[in-house]
Each structure stands twice: as structure tokens, then as C-alpha cells.
Amino acid sequence: MPSSPDFYNSFLEVYNRPIVGFYVRTGLVRNLHSQITSKQLDFIIEALKKARITLYFFSLTDVNLEDKSVNGTYYDEKTDYWTYGKFPYPDILYVRGGPVRPKSKFYQFQEQLREMNVKKLNSGPTFNKWHVLKVLKENNNLFHHLPPTVIYETKEDLNKMIAEYKDVYVKAVIGRKGKQVMRIKETSDGLYEYSFYVNNRLSKDTVNFKALCTVIRKFFGKKKLIIQKTISLPRIDNKIYDMRAELQRTGTGELELLEILVRVSQPNSPITQHSSSYRFNDFFSSFMNYNQETIGELKSKAENVLTQIYETIEGAYGPYGEIGIDFAIDKSGKLWFIEGNSRSTKVSFFKAADQETKLKSYLNIFEYSKFLYKQQIDY
């Protein structure tokens, strides 16, 4: 259990354990100081009142390495304001982003957390798409849910994948929110149509192979890439759709499928991030005219595969309090894994989920933190 410097002994006696630290970008901390909040923060406050733990937000600039303390920003229930104070290092760390520079301070902070046995809500790193695919491929029950994928090392890799599948995606192995994704289709006249989003705008053109390779390197820079066969997705009014499943561990450590959101893209878009969102049952009932029995069977099938994906990832990386899993169901009804998200921003979730489920998404985090803390002190 983390040691307690003298300056906060009284703090530990007054406030509830565990102490949970949300590691976030500096701009969010500044916003809280200015009382600029959001609906998500309202759900955090409500969940906090139910869970009765201690929570603060912080960034790297708030960390004091010398006395192992944090200038944390917290919600003061008495004043109904966000304010800040001096806290010990957290019992449970929940990384939601945040800076890694200056690197020397960041690495020293991480080392101190390890020495003090501070638990992370998500124990592993940000997911590398290629590594995760290799992990899942080892599971005999999952490999047939993985689209054919290769690492992009040479132009010949790209040429072979396009020649075989005619329609592929190129993706950065580390990337979020659809910002590092490009779709490429071979045209009937031997050219290549590419499309991607940049600054929330769709960029699209048709070029020869040499020009295509130049566009790829200009768009991705020196990032490591994969090439993946495009999944044959159903369309609605020339819009593709896929799904984001939000799974979490609960206060008993059990895995719960919180919600599945269906994301319907903009017309002709290569990705679904800039999209409309619907709850799974609502979408398949209203848009696909499925009856409730069929929807239930489809959701049960998806939950079985999603649970195996989650647990297989944990087997390789360690325990996770939550993972967002992107997947698709193709025209034949087969489920395909797209990618895992260790720091899901839950954009689609907060667009479409009901109020009770939104609250539960934070209550699960706090209750699972209690579970981790109890394991720690019992050990």
C-alpha cells in the first residue's frame, strides 16, 4: 500500500479510501479551475457521491516529486465548486491522457508509483493494433474474427494486399478517433482511390500507385502502419455502420457489457467516428426491422465474442477496468474485430446511452477501484 508522508496523515483519517487520481491533460485541469464543466463531469459527481471515495484530477505539472504529493483538483461538495488542494499520490491511478513531457519527470513519477505499488485502473499500455491482433490470433476461438492484416514495411506489402483484396485500410498501429486511418480502393482502370479524414474534413482523390505511396507517407509520416482487408459492411443510404462496445469490470471484479453503440457514418465516409450513434437494440429494431428475439440472439453472440476478446487482451497485458472494443457485423452476419481502445473517450456512448447507464459507467470505475484497493490491503 502507498506510504503516507506526515503532511497528509490527517487527510487519510478524514477522507474515504481509495484515493483515485484521474491523470488528464493540463487543459482539462485549467477548465475545472475556471468552473468550466460538462455533462460527463455531472455524472462523475453523482457517481462520486454514491461511491464515497476520494477523487482528484491532475496533470504532470501538479506532481511534486520531492514529497510525493499532488496539487489535485477536486469537487467540494459543500461549496459545489471545483477547487484544488495538496493530496498524497493516489491509491488507484486512472490514466485518461495527459502529458508525458518533460520525460525525465514523467519517468521518475512512474517509477515512484511502481515503488509505492500504486495500482492502475488499466494496468497495460495504450494498445498497439498490430500487437493486439497477434495476441488475439493465438486464441483459436477468435482468429477467424480477425480481418486479414499485415505490417506495412515496403511498397510491395501494399501492392500485394490491394491486388488480393481490392479494398484495404492503412492504419497507424498507435492512433485514436479515426485520425490515422486511410481507405484505399483499386478502380476499374487500374488507379487507386484513397480517402481519409483530416481536421474533420473528408479528403479524397484517385491517383496512380507511385502517387498513392507518396500520399500515404505524407499523411502518416514515420508512424508504423498496418494494412487490413476492408470488412464488407452493410450500408444504409450509402452510409456504413460499425459498433463500439463498452465493457467494464464491476465492484466485484466481474466483467459487464455496459452497452453496445451502433455508429452510422457520414455519406461515403471511410470511417464512422464522425457519425450518428444509436443503442444496439434501438438500431436493429428501428433501422433493420429485427424482432426482439433476433436482436437478443445477435447481442448474445456478440457479447460472447467480446468477452473472449477482453479476457484474451487481459491475459497478455494484465487486468483492465474498462476496454472499448470496435467491431462490425458484415453482410453475412459474421462478427469482425476492428480494434480495442484502452482509453475510450466514450463519444458514441455519451451520445446515445440512457442516463442510468451513463452514471453506471463512472460508478463501475469507482467501485472497481474499491475492489482493487481491497485486494491491495488484503494482500
Which one, of 350, 370, 345, lies nearest residue 360 by Cα?
350
Burial of 359 (0-12, 13-18, 19+ CB in 10 A): middle
Indicate if 261 and 202 belong to the same structural domain.
no
Q: Does the structure show a pLDDT above 90 at 89?
A: yes
pLDDT, tens digit, 9 for 90 and up, residues 16-72: 899 999 999 999 999 999 999 999 999 999 999 999 999 999 999 999 999 999 999
Query: Domain for residue 96, yes or no?
Result: yes
Q: Is the peptide bond before 18 cis (omega within 30 degrees of 0)?
A: yes
Indicate if 194 and 89 belong to the same structural domain.
no
Percent of the chain with pLDDT over 90: 81
Indicate if 203 and 54 belong to the same structural domain.
no
Indicate if 262 and 354 belong to the same structural domain.
yes
Query: Domain for residue 55, yes or no?
Result: yes
Which one, of 52, 51, 47, lies nearest residue 15 by Cα?
52
Name, in order, each residue with C-beta under 8 angstroms of 311's C-beta and a sequence gap of 6 or more.
255
* Mean pLDDT rounded to a whole number for the chain: 92
Pairing of strands 225-229, 149-152: antiparallel
Domain final residue pick, 209, 229, 249: 229
Indicate if 253 and 363 belong to the same structural domain.
yes
Indicate if 251 and 111 belong to the same structural domain.
no
Domain final residue pick, 202, 229, 256: 229
CA-CA distance, 347 to 177, in Å (whole number)?
9
Query: Domain for residue 1, yes or no?
Result: no
Query: Domain for residue 322, yes or no?
Result: yes
Indicate if 136 and 245 belong to the same structural domain.
yes
Indicate if 254 and 140 belong to the same structural domain.
yes
Q: What pLDDT does residue 292 have?
A: 96
Query: Domain for residue 15, yes or no?
Result: yes
* Residue range(s) defining the domain that contains residue 319: 129-145+233-378
Domain count along the chain:
3
Q: Does the structure show a pLDDT above 70 at 305?
A: yes
pLDDT, tens digit, 9 for 90 and up, residues 107-158: 999 999 999 999 999 988 889 999 999 999 999 999 999 999 999 999 999 9
Query: What is the DSSP code (8-state) at residue 153?
Result: -
Q: What is the pTM of this model?
A: 0.92
